[in-house]
Amino acid sequence: MGPWPPDEEQEYPEPQDEGQSPLPVAFVSTQQSIPLQVDEVADERTPEGMVCMGTFFNERLIARSIISPEALAEIEHQDVFAVPVRLGLAAVENEPGLQCRLYALLPATQFLEKEDEPEEPWLASVPRFEDVTKQEEKAEEEAIVPLLLGHIVRFQRDRRHPDNLAAEAADILRAILSEERPLTDVIDKILEEL
């Protein structure tokens, strides 16, 4: 079965300034991990000193994000996308319709420092504290690190679920993963209209 449907459809309040009412935020994610690749892509709108990181699913560009060359180098050095990851999408109703952010939901354990101490042979017979606590932690949900992959806008006129923010967010995530239409054409059209 594919990475759909999302298993999380929750609304979270966005941080607000005093005197403002909070905007509802919907967050949806894929149930299963999906294989992604990232690479630097050419984009004439990229500011000097930055790079445009493209995210690909099934060899199809699904998101672009402007980041520093050092950040892209670190993503490549950490080999962040060596294994499939879950995708998450946060959506808020804001002009010109729906403003969304697409995230890769990376396991926090991927970023922990590895111990450099050599393993002593006699330690094999002694249970390590870390091993015991790891077994306990497996019962808990693993912590994640969200990595922003790009911004998505759905115009008000294009909404399919105007009265249900979570359903709209789920529909957008489904469209991102769908192979029915070339997403880069849609992205470029949206950027031209903004």
pLDDT by 10-residue block (mean), the chain, 194 residues: 42 55 88 95 93 94 95 92 95 89 90 60 64 57 87 87 89 87 50 51
Q: What is the pLDDT of residue 8?
A: 45
> Do the Cβ atoms of 51 and 39 come closer than 8 Å?
no
Burial classification of residue 21, based on how many CB atoms lie within 10 Å of its CB (0-12 exposed, 13-18 middle, 19 or more buried)? exposed
Q: Give the total residue count for the chain.
A: 194
Burial 66-82 (b: 16+ CB within 10 A, else e): ebeeeebeebeeeebbe
Strand order in the sheet with 97-107: 6-13, 24-30, 86-94, 97-107, 144-155
